[in-house]
């Protein structure tokens, strides 16, 4: 049964210093997760919003190349596709200008959905956020697995306390919550990492919280333990899409192990060794993404033969 990913798709328009020819790249956190899942042989459907314009065609081509299906209505006739223009300076630092519209109106989950992933701008920007929260609740009511990655964008963070309340609302419906240390510094700068992750884990439905820490690896929080996994050595090209690749890899493993379809308690039933293996496999996938340009998650055939163990 397909995994449903709900969230934004956009095109990054990268303008080099001095105003040279720009470079267009398809992106968006949730789109990247959908592509990463499909490349790991998990049937995946994306509910998003793009226009029937040239940038929308770029998005469609990118999704088709990885066999990601679209929910009907994701392409808006006469609509425009969201963009993020990155103007680079001489030091390659970027200043962003966003042209974003996020509005989805699906009233129910597609029939046969095995799991749902949400996050980033899809759970932040109105009016679409309201629809996403509604669909998360529909998944909770149907005992469908939900995962969540807040993936905070500083450009849109106007009110830290309001943003944290929004995160807690969505996270309460998720069995798996993944977030980065950067997210924590933006949302709860005065709180210890362990305290924030334990607060998220305290929600009645949440069974596992995973904190990514860049080159330092990741930590997994269960009811009984905190498990640390180191990142493998890699030749860093950039970190674009690494967190999304990490998320997709975790979901693919959980699908392989029957956890996604296993119902309430299946995730928390994993022992410490299996949770550590879950995180280890995810950091391996993320490291491959870091070793090449842009949000380019690995296929299953590009992973080590012993994956997720190696």
pLDDT greater than 70 at residue 95: no
CA distance 185 to 178: 15
The C-alpha atoms of residue 306 and residue 299 are separated, in whole angstroms, by 14
Q: What is the pLDDT of residue 105?
A: 78
Instruction: Pick 15 or 274 by higher pLDDT.
Output: 274
91 has pLDDT over 80: no
Cα–Cα distance for residue pair 18/8, rounded to 1 Å: 30
Q: In sequence order, which ranges of 40-118 are alpha helices (DSSP H)?
A: 54-65
**Is 289 in a helix, a strand, or coil?**
helix
Mode of pairing for the β-strands spanning 176-180 and 75-76: unpaired
pLDDT of 128 reads: 94
Residue from 103, 149, 244, 271 carrying the catalytic annotation: 244
Query: Averaging pLDDT over each range in 23-27, 238-242, 277-281, which range is the top one?
Result: 277-281
HEC profile of 169-186: HHHCCCCEEEEEHHHHHH
- Residue 52 annotated among the catalytic residues of the structure: no
More confident residue, 162 or 238: 162
pLDDT value, residue 107: 72
Length of the chain: 310
Report the mean per-residue pLDDT for the chain: 91
Q: How confident is the model at residue 94 (pLDDT cuts 50, 70, 90)?
A: low
How sure is the predictor about 295, in pLDDT bands with cuts at 50, 70 and 90?
Answer: confident
What is the CATH topology of the domain spanning 3-302? Answer: 3.40.1190
pLDDT score for 93: 54
What count of other Cβ atoms lies within 10 Å of the Cβ of residue 151? Answer: 24
Q: What is the DSSP string of 70-90?
A: E-TT-EETT----EEEEEE-T
Give the tokens for residue 79.
């609509």
CA distance 41 to 198: 32
Q: How is residue 173 written in tokens? A: 């419906």
How far apart CA 187 and CA 197 sit, in angstroms, is: 12
Chain segment 51-68, per-residue pLDDT in tens: 999 999 999 999 999 999
Alpha-carbon distance of 243 to 150, in angstroms, equals 11
Q: Does the predicted TM-score (pTM) go above 0.85? A: yes
Separation between Cα atoms, residue 240 and residue 256, nearest integer Å:
26
Rounded Cα distance, 194 and 217, in Å: 15
pLDDT in tens, 117-150: 999 999 999 999 999 999 999 999 999 999 999 9
* pLDDT at residue 89 is higher than 70: no
Q: What pLDDT shows up at residue 263?
A: 93
| Tokens at 307, concatenated | 């994956």
Residues 65 and 178: their CA atoms lie apart, in Å, by 27
List, in sequence order, every beta strand (DSSP E) within 100-244. 115-119, 145-149, 176-180, 208-212, 218-221, 226-229
């Amino acid at each position: 049964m397909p995994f449903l990913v709900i969230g934004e798709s956009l095109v990054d328009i990268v303008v080099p210093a001095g105003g040279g020819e720009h470079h267009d790249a398809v992106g968006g956190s949730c789109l990247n997760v959908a592509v990463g899942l499909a490349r790991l042989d998990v049937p995946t459907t994306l509910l998003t919003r793009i226009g029937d314009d040239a940038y929308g065609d770029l998005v469609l081509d990118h999704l088709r190349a990885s066999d990601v299906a679209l929910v009907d209505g994701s392409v808006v006739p006469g609509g425009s596709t969201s963009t993020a223009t990155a103007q680079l300076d001489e030091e390659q630092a970027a200043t962003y200008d966003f042209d974003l519209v996020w509005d989805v109106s699906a009233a129910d989950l597609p029939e046969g959905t095995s799991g749902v992933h949400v996050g980033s701008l899809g759970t932040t920007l109105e009016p679409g956020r309201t629809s996403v929260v509604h669909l998360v609740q529909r998944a909770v009511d149907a005992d469908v697995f939900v995962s969540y990655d807040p993936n905070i964008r500083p450009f849109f963070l106007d009110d830290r306390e309001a943003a944290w309340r929004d995160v807690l609302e969505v996270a309460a419906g998720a069995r798996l919550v993944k977030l980065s240390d950067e997210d924590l510094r933006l949302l709860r700068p005065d709180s210890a990492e362990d305290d924030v992750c334990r607060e998220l884990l305290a929600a009645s439905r949440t069974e596992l919280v995973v904190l990514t820490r860049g080159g330092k690896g990741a930590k997994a929080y269960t009811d009984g333990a905190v498990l640390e996994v180191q990142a493998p050595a890699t030749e860093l090209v950039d970190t674009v899409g690494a967190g999304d690749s990490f998320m997709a890899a975790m979901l693919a493993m959980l699908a392989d192990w029957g956890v996604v379809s296993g119902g309430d308690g299946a995730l928390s039933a994993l022992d410490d060794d299996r949770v550590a293996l879950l995180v280890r496999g995810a950091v391996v996938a993320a490291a491959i993404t870091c070793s090449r340009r842009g949000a380019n998650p690995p296929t299953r055939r590009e992973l080590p033969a012993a994956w997720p163990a190696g």
